[in-house]
């Protein structure tokens, strides 16, 4: 493994280690929580919560999230803090959280209060006692001739244990219950995720309480069931850790595979490239095969390369009718019309060459750009030459670069199984825990969004032999963000079913990205792609010179490599003067004799118009390929805060 890759892996490991170490950097638990609750004659529940919270670390203060169900309303009265020096209670003020002993609502159900300034030293097992007073209406539900109280008096969505919990619930004398009153409960070591639900069937002496909710049908009682208990804290940490472990293992798996095939070997130096090297490496293959192998795609560049090769082989001839803007006498190369004539019988063509000829020569043995477009427009159809070449060229590329046995043939199977498990778990959760649908949809949307970006970055990495480290980092960005997002979602204390379902989806996404990134080429195929990439880099460098060390016979290969933009620039700067010694000579000398294709393509600046017209024609009447003249183708709880 190269030093650069080793340093990247080391950095990722340290980052994960720091992230894991920060999980336990602070803690919070409750020494005592005492709840005094009274149900008045109208059905309003009055609650006084006394919480002794023990902070350790850089907490800002406390938080109380109220689970308000349909038909309920919260009326908050006051918040007090016990002064340990005087033994008196001090009432907190409703104001900005920039001041200690202020409280504020973060949303309609989340209350926060300030206990420490950011500039103050962190808490060191500091116990602070708070008293919250509030009332709830609608907690009692009419069910026929009786009433139902189904209420959780201990918020389960919290990060710490309650060492001693006590509840005293006393209904007004107008309420009658078989259990008698008052109701008293005491529990030791109430774990996170656990609450204390009191479920009572009540009768009212007068039968007309004002603060109750009504049910029109018995089936609607399910709407008022308590929210699902959150997953245990240990499970949250376990699932989050497993996601990060999966990402790390799959990353190492990918690195080992890529290193074994030679993907991380440096490209051949352009200084080592000679004409003999090009002959043995590049020119032994047809230009369209070279272009499709280099970037693993078939686009207008490969089509234009086939046309240029057939012209060079004198199996057809061509000339360009340039477009000159009236009055201004300005030539627009991209609007030039390409005329072509067959010089051999149509029957002498076979395979994808014959498909291309039949698609272009629609009116005999002569054709041009306007005739082709008019023909397909009149029939309401489209012609995409690249699509005609894609399948046969893909087969040729596979023969050159891949082994017969494909170890990644079924790489999609684990992803499909993991995603299917996650789907059915989330579907079940949507029916059982309807209150979590929003969180579930948000989580799935983020995962799919990141997956789409990840696929794009992954294919760019897999199909390119240049800037591998940058492309690899971009490829790992979406899976890393997915792991971060999952770790944040588990802090929302969703149900066990929700978190496990999202866990399977997250692991499926990470597995798919890492599997998709692995090259399908064997070692010989990887080496060939690296050599072709180096050759393209060499051609690109030469096109920056006034007298490039190129030959006119290489023109189709320049087209196949997608160097249209560079040739455009060369034609505009030097095409009229630099290479005239080679104009008309299809072999060229290469040294001060490059004319941009020789006389068969016009030579000098005229070759630029031919190239633009050919690529415009090759793009077809409807194409998703990159157009133009150049560039490469493709491509309710409580706690602290």
Within 10 Å of residue 402's Cβ, how many Cβ atoms? 15
What's the pLDDT at 215? Answer: 52
pLDDT tens profile 19-65: 444 444 789 999 999 999 999 988 899 999 999 999 999 999 999 99
Can you tell me whether residue 48 is helix, strand or coil? strand
Of 199-213, 498-512, 608-622, which has the strongest mean pLDDT? 498-512
What's the pLDDT at 451? Answer: 93
CA neighbor of 514 nearest in space, from 429, 411, 639, 393: 411
E-state strands within 247-329? 316-325
Tokens of 520: 């399908």
pLDDT (mean) for 518-539? 92
What's the pLDDT at 70? Answer: 75
Do 154 and 179 form a contact (C-beta atoms < 8 A)?
no
What's the pLDDT at 134? Answer: 94
Instruction: Give this prediction's pTM.
Output: 0.60
Kind and range of the H or E run holding 186: strand 183-190
What's the pLDDT at 581? Answer: 34
- Starting from the edge strand earliest in sequence, which strands make up the sheet with 197-204, in order? 175-177, 197-204, 146-152, 140-143, 213-214
Residue 553 predicted with pLDDT over 60: yes
Do 106 and 121 form a contact (C-beta atoms < 8 A)?
no
Residue 220 predicted with pLDDT over 50: no
What's the pLDDT at 534? Answer: 94
CA neighbor of 468 nearest in space, from 15, 13, 8: 8
Q: How confident is the model at residue 602 (pLDDT cuts 50, 70, 90)?
A: low
pLDDT tens profile 229-265: 778 888 889 999 999 999 999 999 999 999 999 999 9
What's the pLDDT at 479? Answer: 95
What's the pLDDT at 627? Answer: 35
pLDDT (mean) for 320-343? 72
Residue 280 predicted with pLDDT over 80: yes
State the distance between the two ends of the chain, measured CA to CA, in whole angstroms.
43
- Calculate the average pLDDT of the chain: 82
Residue 605 predicted with pLDDT over 90: no
What's the pLDDT at 116? Answer: 92
Do 389 and 288 form a contact (C-beta atoms < 8 A)?
yes
- Starting from the edge strand earliest in sequence, which strands make up the sheet with 93-94, in order? 93-94, 102-105, 110-114, 61-65, 638-640
Query: Could you give the CA distance from residue 440 to residue 492 in angstroms, rounded to a whole number?
Result: 11
Do 377 and 621 form a contact (C-beta atoms < 8 A)?
yes
Q: How confident is the model at residue 421 (pLDDT cuts 50, 70, 90)?
A: very high
What's the pLDDT at 6? Answer: 41
Tokens of 91: 């009432």
Residue 579 predicted with pLDDT over 70: no
Angle at 625 between CA 525 and CA 340, to 5 degrees: 100
Q: What is the DSSP code string of 421-455?
A: HHHHHHHHHHHH-GGGHHHHHHHHHHHHHHHHHHH
Residue with tokens 């990134």, as numbered in its chain: 517
Residues facing 140 on adjacent strands: 149
């Amino acid at each position: 493994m190269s030093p650069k890759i080793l340093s990247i892996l080391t950095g990722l490991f340290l980052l994960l280690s720091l992230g894991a170490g920060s999980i336990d950097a602070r803690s919070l638990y409750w020494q005592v929580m005492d709840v005094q609750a009274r149900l008045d004659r109208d059905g309003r529940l009055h609650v006084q919560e006394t919480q002794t919270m023990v902070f350790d670390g850089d907490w800002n203060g406390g938080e109380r999230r109220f689970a308000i169900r349909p038909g309920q309303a919260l009326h908050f009265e006051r918040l007090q803090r016990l002064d340990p020096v005087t033994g008196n209670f001090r009432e907190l003020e409703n104001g900005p959280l920039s001041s200690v002993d202020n409280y504020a609502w973060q949303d309609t159900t989340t209350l926060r209060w300030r206990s420490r300034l950011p500039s103050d030293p962190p808490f060191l097992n500091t116990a602070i006692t708070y008293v919250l007073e509030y009332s709830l209406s609608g907690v009692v539900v009419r069910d026929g001739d009786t009433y139902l109280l189904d209420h959780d008096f201990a918020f389960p969505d919290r990060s710490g244990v309650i060492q001693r919990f006590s509840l005293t619930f006393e209904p007004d004398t107008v309420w009658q219950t078989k259990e008698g009153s008052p109701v008293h409960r005491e529990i030791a070591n109430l774990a996170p995720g656990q609450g204390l639900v009191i479920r009572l069937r009540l009768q009212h002496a007068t039968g007309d309480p004002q603060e109750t909710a009504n049910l029109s049908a018995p089936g609607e009682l399910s709407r008022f069931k308590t929210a699902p208990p959150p997953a245990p804290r240990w499970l949250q940490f376990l699932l989050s850790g497993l996601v990060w472990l999966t990402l790390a293992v799959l990353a190492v798996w990918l690195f080992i595979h890529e290193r074994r095939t030679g993907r991380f070997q440096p490209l051949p130096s352009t200084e080592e490239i000679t004409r003999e090297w090009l002959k043995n490496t590049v020119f032994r293959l047809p230009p369209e095969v070279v272009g499709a192998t280099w970037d693993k795609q078939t686009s207008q560049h490969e089509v234009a390369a086939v046309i240029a090769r057939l012209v060079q082989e004198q199996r057809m001839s061509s000339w360009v009718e340039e477009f000159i803007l009236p009055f201004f006498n300005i030539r627009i190369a991209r609007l030039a019309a390409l005329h072509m004539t067959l010089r051999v019988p149509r029957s002498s063509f076979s395979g994808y060459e014959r498909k291309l000829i039949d698609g272009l020569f629609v009116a005999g043995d002569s054709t041009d750009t306007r005739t082709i477009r008019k023909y397909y427009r009149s029939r309401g159809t489209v012609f995409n030459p690249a699509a005609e070449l894609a399948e046969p060229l893909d087969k040729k590329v596979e023969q050159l670069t891949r082994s017969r046995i494909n170890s990644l043939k079924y790489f999609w199977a684990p992803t499909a199984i993991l995603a299917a498990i996650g789907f059915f778990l989330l579907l079940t959760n949507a029916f059982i825990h309807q209150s979590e649908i929003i969180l579930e949809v948000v989580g799935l949307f983020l995962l799919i969004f990141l997956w789409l970006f990840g696929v794009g970055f992954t294919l760019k990495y897999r199909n390119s032999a240049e800037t591998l480290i940058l492309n690899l980092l971009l490829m790992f960005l979406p899976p890393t963000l997915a792991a971060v997002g999952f770790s944040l979602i588990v802090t929302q204390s969703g149900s066990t079913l929700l978190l496990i379902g999202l866990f399977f989806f997250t692991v499926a996404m990470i597995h798919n990205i890492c599997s998709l990134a692995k090259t399908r080429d064997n070692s010989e195929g990887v080496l060939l792609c690296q050599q072709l990439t180096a050759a393209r880099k060499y051609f690109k460098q030469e096109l920056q010179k006034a007298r490039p060390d190129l030959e006119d016979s290489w023109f189709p290969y320049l087209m196949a490599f997608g160097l249209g933009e560079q040739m455009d620039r060369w034609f505009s700067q030097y095409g009229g003067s630099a290479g005239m010694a080679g104009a008309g000579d299809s072999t060229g000398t290469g040294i001060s004799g490059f004319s941009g294709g020789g006389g068969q393509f016009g030579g000098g600046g005229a070759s630029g118009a031919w190239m633009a017209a050919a690529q415009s024609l090759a793009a077809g009447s409807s194409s998703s390929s990159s157009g133009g003249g150049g560039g490469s183708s493709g491509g309710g709880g409580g706690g602290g805060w």
